[in-house]
Amino acid sequence: MLSDQVKLDFQRRERIGFDEAVLCEWKSVEQIGYILQTAVEAERPLLLTRLTDVKLAALPEKLRKNIDYDPVSRTGFFAAELFVPSHAEVSVVSAGSSDIPVAHEAIRTLQYFGIGASEISDVGVAGLWRLMERIDAIRASRIVIVAAGMDGALPSVVGGLVPGAVIAVPTSVGYGASDNGRTAMNACLASCAAGLAVVNIDNGFGAACIALRVLRDTKAPQYRMLLEAAVRE
Amino acid sequence: MLSDQVKLDFQRRERIGFDEAVLCEWKSVEQIGYILQTAVEAERPLLLTRLTDVKLAALPEKLRKNIDYDPVSRTGFFAAELFVPSHAEVSVVSAGSSDIPVAHEAIRTLQYFGIGASEISDVGVAGLWRLMERIDAIRASRIVIVAAGMDGALPSVVGGLVPGAVIAVPTSVGYGASDNGRTAMNACLASCAAGLAVVNIDNGFGAACIALRVLRDTKAPQYRMLLEAAVRE
Amino acid sequence: MLSDQVKLDFQRRERIGFDEAVLCEWKSVEQIGYILQTAVEAERPLLLTRLTDVKLAALPEKLRKNIDYDPVSRTGFFAAELFVPSHAEVSVVSAGSSDIPVAHEAIRTLQYFGIGASEISDVGVAGLWRLMERIDAIRASRIVIVAAGMDGALPSVVGGLVPGAVIAVPTSVGYGASDNGRTAMNACLASCAAGLAVVNIDNGFGAACIALRVLRDTKAPQYRMLLEAAVRE
Amino acid sequence: MLSDQVKLDFQRRERIGFDEAVLCEWKSVEQIGYILQTAVEAERPLLLTRLTDVKLAALPEKLRKNIDYDPVSRTGFFAAELFVPSHAEVSVVSAGSSDIPVAHEAIRTLQYFGIGASEISDVGVAGLWRLMERIDAIRASRIVIVAAGMDGALPSVVGGLVPGAVIAVPTSVGYGASDNGRTAMNACLASCAAGLAVVNIDNGFGAACIALRVLRDTKAPQYRMLLEAAVRE
Amino acid sequence: MLSDQVKLDFQRRERIGFDEAVLCEWKSVEQIGYILQTAVEAERPLLLTRLTDVKLAALPEKLRKNIDYDPVSRTGFFAAELFVPSHAEVSVVSAGSSDIPVAHEAIRTLQYFGIGASEISDVGVAGLWRLMERIDAIRASRIVIVAAGMDGALPSVVGGLVPGAVIAVPTSVGYGASDNGRTAMNACLASCAAGLAVVNIDNGFGAACIALRVLRDTKAPQYRMLLEAAVRE
Amino acid sequence: MLSDQVKLDFQRRERIGFDEAVLCEWKSVEQIGYILQTAVEAERPLLLTRLTDVKLAALPEKLRKNIDYDPVSRTGFFAAELFVPSHAEVSVVSAGSSDIPVAHEAIRTLQYFGIGASEISDVGVAGLWRLMERIDAIRASRIVIVAAGMDGALPSVVGGLVPGAVIAVPTSVGYGASDNGRTAMNACLASCAAGLAVVNIDNGFGAACIALRVLRDTKAPQYRMLLEAAVRE
Amino acid sequence: MLSDQVKLDFQRRERIGFDEAVLCEWKSVEQIGYILQTAVEAERPLLLTRLTDVKLAALPEKLRKNIDYDPVSRTGFFAAELFVPSHAEVSVVSAGSSDIPVAHEAIRTLQYFGIGASEISDVGVAGLWRLMERIDAIRASRIVIVAAGMDGALPSVVGGLVPGAVIAVPTSVGYGASDNGRTAMNACLASCAAGLAVVNIDNGFGAACIALRVLRDTKAPQYRMLLEAAVRE
Amino acid sequence: MLSDQVKLDFQRRERIGFDEAVLCEWKSVEQIGYILQTAVEAERPLLLTRLTDVKLAALPEKLRKNIDYDPVSRTGFFAAELFVPSHAEVSVVSAGSSDIPVAHEAIRTLQYFGIGASEISDVGVAGLWRLMERIDAIRASRIVIVAAGMDGALPSVVGGLVPGAVIAVPTSVGYGASDNGRTAMNACLASCAAGLAVVNIDNGFGAACIALRVLRDTKAPQYRMLLEAAVRE
């Protein structure tokens, strides 16, 4: 039955340049386990997103042991040997420390595909000097991912200061008029700064994928499956 | 009939410190004319807001001639002798030149009540240096009114830079995700800068009234009716 | 890693007149703990908002012992010696007893910054006489903070009765058409009373910050760190 | 063809106590003309609502001449002889003079069905004394219809002061956060005053129909067709 | 402190004909307990709404024992001796058995104030014959309360069939496009049946209060405090 | 240039059983003219929807003369010889006469594809007897299209009474809480009647296309181009 | 009391061709138990939807034992002997494996009424080749049910490729801009593919009911009660 | 006065790599004229967007003559000598011919900055073969801009087929559930295809600016002012 429900798209890298990731949020533990088993058989590593520690703990130990898990970003690398990038090609900027989980989802996704990222945090517009102290480093990046909740003002400010591709990730941080991130999302889309690329609320993964698409001329995603490790156990 | 429909609140200045203004947008020309006539009889000047030039032109000439009308802000001073304030106590900052009508509604309202204002325009966050060039003057104001549409980011940035009371006026400038000003309004309400006072979309009048309430200890509204002028004609 | 995520804005008092507070709702216990530790090192007291008792209990005892915590408003004063204001400069009015937590967040914030406040509760418009009994005291305040959920009608009524600066705090009290406070928020923004300053839903902290901005000419925030206490334990 | 499209519900009075009215807003002039002709043949008078003067002018003169038209409320009485009620059984209260068209739709509907109404206008909560001057008369009414736009606060205040049935009619007066009357409508529904009966935005007709339903024990709708007049011309 | 937060409106019956009820949802157990104690002191019974069994259980036993609690409607009668009405004056109709809790909140409120109600359930429009079997009894009622979720169609159908006052109570039953009751609420407000009185989602209490206002000429609320019982224990 | 912008999908009938129609609302007159010319060259007739009379009049006479235009439904048949169906296979029911334009868009679309339809109008639920008089005829139809605005209650009632496929077409008729048809649309989607097929607001064309898909086993779309007529002129 | 609350519509099959199902989500365990008991007495089997395992476990064992329960779709067949259909008449297509619960609700409902369905899963548009591999089988079905969350794009693509009746079931899978399924629902309603029949979010049951209505000419619902089994225990 | 309102950001190219454009929609003719005059004085060409032909015609002839205006995209090049790019670096794909104005705004913006674009139109997902015929050309582009209204499904499909950076431009084409483009916008943000960069509704200009940011390493914006032409006339 599970084999009828899941059809992994292993041709995706050939088509769009990088592999399918597994969005775990609405999948049952059974489905996730089956997908991992399929990956083992296809000799493919996998990136897992929105994997809670509860679901992780419920996976069979043999599979779980091969997952490099990060609880902050709720991401897992399954059976993947990662190549350490020599320098950062992407800046990941976040407005407040509450936006860290989303920023880390972007950083982990980039890391999985072999792209280095530098992290600049807690530089929201209410204390502009914090951003200004770091702006030269940010300006040097070809791609800048900016995560912000509440008013979503930081991507507009960054977009007016740097020449690189700016990817705005609205976050669900905030209450009341923040509307679970919709205000930040709409503010980024309506930005007075020209040329912001916007993704869904809390979608650090998607922001990283835009970076992958932009960088594909200079960088090929680099990872290899830790096959034996996954099989042996 | 009209006398049954309109009951001007001439006691308002005693209660809250400043007079009722007439919001003309949903009133018929007949109603506006009757209200002005009532003001003549009560020997009171009036501030008119959201008065279109079409309605203005349809008023009886005797009344129209006593209106000092500004087409940009769509405000009119009826039979009021204004006192020129010697210096500016309020800064009125606007993000783009499209926000000027709203900013001017605030300035005209302040002017009607004898408060001087200095205007700083086209300093949106997409070109932050324009704001930074003027920030010292803005910081010196006890009250700063900030009008911005689209992403509504400017009030957040100003709120993080100045110590005075910051009043955010979201404007309906923008399209799509701007949602007729709701995104700017929500962004101001959800601002990461502490202590923004927010008013309704395009409500320059309301922003000015907050200023009147704050300044009332130091300033009494100053105007006198140009009674003879209104009566003679 | 945590040191990369958090960058406290200790220059804020110089810029805007009062210090940064720590919004604890989307921060992890680790992040809050790190922030408190940083404050100890910088010899600064801190105001904590939206701190649940669960997170409070999970903090290291050394830090927790230096927090003066109020469970109703979910606020904490970290290592701060407060100065008792001699009289109330702000009236904090709430429509129903369900609005008390939001009103208390405002009062506690004012208290942290040395501003006295008098509390007037359960005076919603469904029983107008309760408000009328207290209106003279309210009228005497330079600043009136009004918290109301459901229909959000109380700030409009107060705004028509008092000359001071009126700050409306819509609350999330109510169900169905109340829309988690959005109806009260929109009603305050669309108020027929001129010059209401509106803040986000349940944002008692923000309302108090507007008061701080307005009062800064006459009052400087007064508090001092209880340094030894925090360090010793 | 038109005869296929229109099927008047002449049995409605038997079922629910009063006749169908014709909502003209989405009907073509041809449809309205056909409906009136059908009424002539059935020897029935008709109440027309939301009839613009443009559509009125486009009707055949023979029909138009038999319409007693009121441009403020956009209502028409077709071929109806009205009985003058000896006293007012319903109070129709409106917050501002901009709400008059909606209040008059209610009054005209009541008048068509033989119910007298007294009108109390421009008593919005921003100037509460205006309401208080009239409250005794309002309290004496068995039914109170209250029209208000913007914040929709007046029905809540009235609901807390009078014992009769209070019918709230939110109006579309206001801008921005007023959301074309939705904020007033939601505020009435979420009212802190117990037992408000709410109708659709600008629906003065519906409010009057509730009054008809409540009063039906004591009052039978009274009107008779001016048959000859309609037929003769 | 609690005495500062709570100010019961014991004059309400004089003003509007019936007493204040206590909406328990956003009140703490401490607040509810204090309110009950105040009622004891004022020798007044109280109606409690939205009182969960968890909060009930947390109340002091002395108070809890004097509450006649109904778990379906989550209502409690505190220290009230109820008079049994001899016949039903109100019909309470509900579309599905999932709407029963809301219908019962209305019935219990009516019962508290001495008004008899007959209950007609599970007569939604998907099986119209069920309604038609009962329509004669419903038509005989002076007041008909109709609770319906999902599409909210039943009040429109009833409104077209009966002459009495029809009070529509949209409920939050339904999913997806039901939008937590907003679709049913909007459908009732936009009803093609003339003269529906609409209340907030799930507001059975409010519907009953409209009935109290309508019936006040013929019925005075009848209850008396079980004072000794409350005091003795 | 226009040839780059337009690529008609003449293979659609092979794929899905019926031809592409031309939605004219957002197309310029130039684009519509080019599309018609392309159809002439491909020897294909075309169905045009949402074609205003203003755009029709602006088309070149040679093209316009070959359009069989219906102003109520705003549809046009371009160069199509229609086959008269011998009997009605679809019932098209509408709640009020204001819903006629939408109902006629469905009927005209069916007619274009050779499907007969019977029209039942003005049978809204506020006067249920009108529907009951016609219900036997409706029950006999394999497919029932129901157009209704305002509360959108009619499709639910019909869905509970007939065994055929019921297609609900919410219309934009109504004001305020009707929300331009969204309330009717949501009510149909949340219907308590099982198995309603819902289409977009005012989408009579889409409803007819569902009928085409359902009926395709028994009926092949029947029309032929009036080629010579289109070419000759 | 429960007998007053529940009135099963056992005539529904005669009216619309298939029996009422029991939507368990807002019903109490007591209500569900009573309904099942009623079905036993009426000698009728029942389909239960949205029955959680928690409620299932709380039912009396005698009833529970006669429920054939599927935890993925949360459906139960009470006391029904099912007939195995010889071949699939409906294709049930789902975009991702997270949409399986909704797809299975449709399949189980069809199965209950004796209709065979073939399942095609995980063929979302991000990997179009997966759909293309299966498209011939899908094209052969008279009815195609398509479940998709997030962007809801799959039904549009399928609608452009197959001639059968296409029923779109938006699902609540997705976050942020997905808006709990509203975006998918709106996308299906606004589809560029002509003739999509849309149902409520997650409403697999409703989709199956449309199929029942369409197929009724060729298929009569086939099931028989397992009476003795239910009674004996 | 106008000089106070407008402050062009001529340093923008230095900061972000390309010049400010003038969004004309909310600017008065006087403001636009003043801005153009300022550009003449600064010897800078300008890109004008959302310039209606009515406003164009109202500009002084001297300025108007120097505007290369395109009525479809409503863009103007003021006094700019454009360099013809030798080949297309960007594919601009649109779903229907109604989306052409938005697609052309992107193409014109790219053209202004010296970037060649190839146009692929009318390839919406309802006729997938049209897209498949062109997919190889699209796959060869480093950047793909996709404009689509209604269901906004095309960007998801393209995103799953090509490796380049995909920029989704939702358009306001569609009615009812399309919600003026919000459904398409949300569908793009919630896309199942990884790595879509989304911009505001109808924002072809913004999409082109993302392309400029991505391409800046290989392409410098190329244009020169036609100074004499602007000055001479």
Of F121, F176, F177, the CB nearest to D5: F121
Kindly report the nearest CA distance between residue G180 and chain E, in angstroms.
Answer: 8
pLDDT digits (tens, 9 = 90+) for C50-69: 999 999 999 999 999 999 99
Nearest to A27 among G98, G121, G126 (CB): G98
pLDDT at D60: 96
Burial F158-182 (b: 16+ CB within 10 A, else e): bbbbbbbbbbbbbbbbbbbbbbbbb
Give the per-residue pLDDT at G137.
Answer: 92
Which of C72, C100, C108 to probe the E interface (max E CBs under 10 A)?
C100
CA distance F116 to C13: 77
For residue D71, which of D98, D47, D52, D97 has the smallest C-alpha distance?
A: D52
- The fraction of chain G above a pLDDT of 70, given in percent, is 92
pLDDT at position H232, please? 54
Q: What tokens appear for H203 in the block? A: 């924002």
- Break chain H down into helix, strand, coil percent, rounded to 5: 45, 20, 35
Fold topology of F88-215? Rossmann fold (3.40.50)
User: Pick from E126, E175, E192: which is nearest to F192 by CB?
Assistant: E126
F206 in G contact zone (CB under 8 Å): yes
Q: How many CA atoms lie within 13 A of A135 on its CB side?
A: 20
Any contact of G with B, at least 3 CB pairs below 8 A?
no
User: Could H185 and A190 be called an inter-chain contact, meaning their C-beta atoms sit closer than 8 Å?
Assistant: no
| Inter-chain residue contact F16 with G216, CB threshold 8 Å | no
What residue spans of chain D are helical by DSSP H? 2-5, 12-16, 29-42, 53-58, 61-64, 100-112, 128-139, 154-159, 182-189, 204-215, 227-232
Q: Which two tokens stand for residue D229?
A: 């007049």
- D195–B contact, CB cutoff 8 A: no
F186 and chain E: CB distance < 8 Å anywhere? yes
- Residue D224: its pLDDT value, please? 62
pLDDT at A116: 93
User: Which of G70, G137, G135 is CA-nearest to residue G109?
Assistant: G70
Nearest beta carbon to residue C201 from set A97, A130, A176? A176
Pick from E23, E26, E201: which is nearest to C176 by CB? E201
Closest CA to F130 of D10, B200, G127: D10
Using alpha carbons, select from F36, F185, F210 the residue that is nearest to residue F113. Answer: F210
User: Does position C200 have pLDDT exceeding 60, yes or no?
Assistant: yes
List the single residue in E98, E123, E175 with the smallest CB-CB distance to G7: E123
The secondary structure of chain B in percent helix, strand, coil, rounded to multiples of 5, reads 45, 20, 35
pLDDT in tens, H155-177: 999 999 999 999 999 999 999 99
CB contact under 8 A, D126 and B9: yes
- Subunits touching F (CB < 8 Å, at least 3 pairs)? D, E, G, H
Q: Between H98, H119, H177, which is nearest F4 by CB?
A: H119
pLDDT in tens, D149-208: 999 999 999 999 999 999 999 999 999 999 999 999 999 999 999 999 999 999 999 999
Q: Looking at the partner chain, which of B128, B156, B161 has a beta carbon nearest the beta carbon of A151?
A: B156
Coil, strand or helix at B174: coil
Amino acid residing at B52: T
Could F7 and H130 be called an inter-chain contact, meaning their C-beta atoms sit closer than 8 Å? yes
Q: Check residue B222 and give its pLDDT.
A: 59
Helices B182-189 and A182-189, packing angle to 10 deg: 130
Is some CB atom of chain F closer than 8 A to the CB atom of H183? no
Task: List, for residues A31-81, the tens digit of each pLDDT value.
Answer: 999 999 999 998 889 999 999 999 999 999 999 999 999 999 999 999 887
G-proximal residues of E, 37-96, CB under 8 Å: none
| pLDDT of E13 | 81
CA distance C188 to C205: 17
**From the CB of residue H232, how many other CB atoms can be counted at a distance below 10 Å?**
10
Alpha carbons B37 and B60: distance in angstroms, whole number: 10
Question: Between chain A and chain C, how many beta carbons pairs sit less than 8 Å apart?
Answer: 53
Domain ranges of chain A: 2-83+224-232, 88-215
Interchain contact B209–C (C-beta under 8 A): yes
Q: Bigger pLDDT: G7 or E25?
A: E25
Q: Which residue among E31, E170, E185 places its CB closest to the CB of C97?
A: E31
pLDDT at E222: 59
Average pLDDT in chain H: 91
C159 touches chain B (CB under 8 A): yes
Give the integer Cα–Cα distance in Å for H165 and H213. 12
Q: Region E190-217: what's the mean pLDDT?
A: 95
Residues of B in contact with D123 (CB under 8 A): 7
Contacts of A203 (CB under 8 A, 6+ apart): A102, A105, A169, G176
> Which of D14, D15, D26, D50 to substitute to test the interface with F, most F CBs within 10 Å?
D26
pLDDT score, position F10: 78
Residue E139 corresponds to which tokens in the numbers above? 């038509």
pLDDT at B11: 79
Chain G environment of A15 (Cβ under 8 Å): 127
What is the enclosing helix (H) or strand (E) of B47? strand B46-49
Model confidence pLDDT, tens digit, residues F37-82: 999 998 889 999 999 999 999 999 999 999 999 999 999 999 887 7
| Cα(G161)–Cα(D6) distance, integer angstroms | 40
F31: chain H residues, CB-CB within 8 Å = 97, 100
Q: Does E195 contact chain D (CB < 8 Å)?
A: yes
Question: Does position A113 have pLDDT exceeding 70, yes or no?
Answer: yes
H130 reaches F (C-beta below 8 A)? yes
User: What tens digit of pLDDT does each residue of E124-151 get?
Assistant: 999 888 999 999 999 999 999 999 999 9
Whole-number average pLDDT of chain A:
91
In this complex, how many residue pairs, one in chain D and one in chain F, have their CB atoms less than 8 Å apart? 53
E200 Cα to chain D: minimum distance (Å) = 5
Residue pair E151/F187 in contact (Cβ under 8 Å)? The answer is: yes
Task: Look at strands G196-198 and D88-94 and give their pairing.
Answer: unpaired
Q: Please give the residue of chain B at the shortest CA–CA distance from H5.
A: B121
Q: What is the pLDDT of residue F231?
A: 55
Distance in Å, alpha carbon of F203 to nearest chain G alpha carbon = 9
Cα–Cα dist H78/H35, whole Å: 11
Q: Among A66-75, C45-54, F25-34, F217-226, where is mean pLDDT lowest? A: F217-226
Average pLDDT over residues B5-31: 87
pLDDT at residue F217 greater than cutoff 80: no
Q: Which of E9, E12, E14, E16 to mutate to test the interface with D (most CBs of D within 10 A)?
A: E16
- The per-residue pLDDT of chain E, averaged, comes to 91
Give H79 or B183, the one with higher predicted confidence. B183
Asked if H126 lies within 8 A of F201 by C-beta distance, the reply is no
How many Cβ atoms are within 10 Å of B70's Cβ, its own excluded? 17
Q: Is residue F228 predicted with pLDDT exceeding 60?
A: no
Residue H145 in tokens: 């801009």
Q: Would the CB atoms of D27 and F98 count as touching at under 8 Å?
A: yes
How far is C-alpha H67 from the geometric centre of its chain's CA atoms? 17
**Is B198 within 8 Å of C198 when comparing Cβ atoms?**
yes
Sign for the pseudo-dihedral over CA of A185, A187, A189, A191: negative
Q: Return the pLDDT at H13.
A: 81
Average pLDDT, rounded, for chain F? 91
Q: In degrees, to the nearest 5, what angle opens at C-alpha H161 toward C-alphas H156 and H163?
A: 105
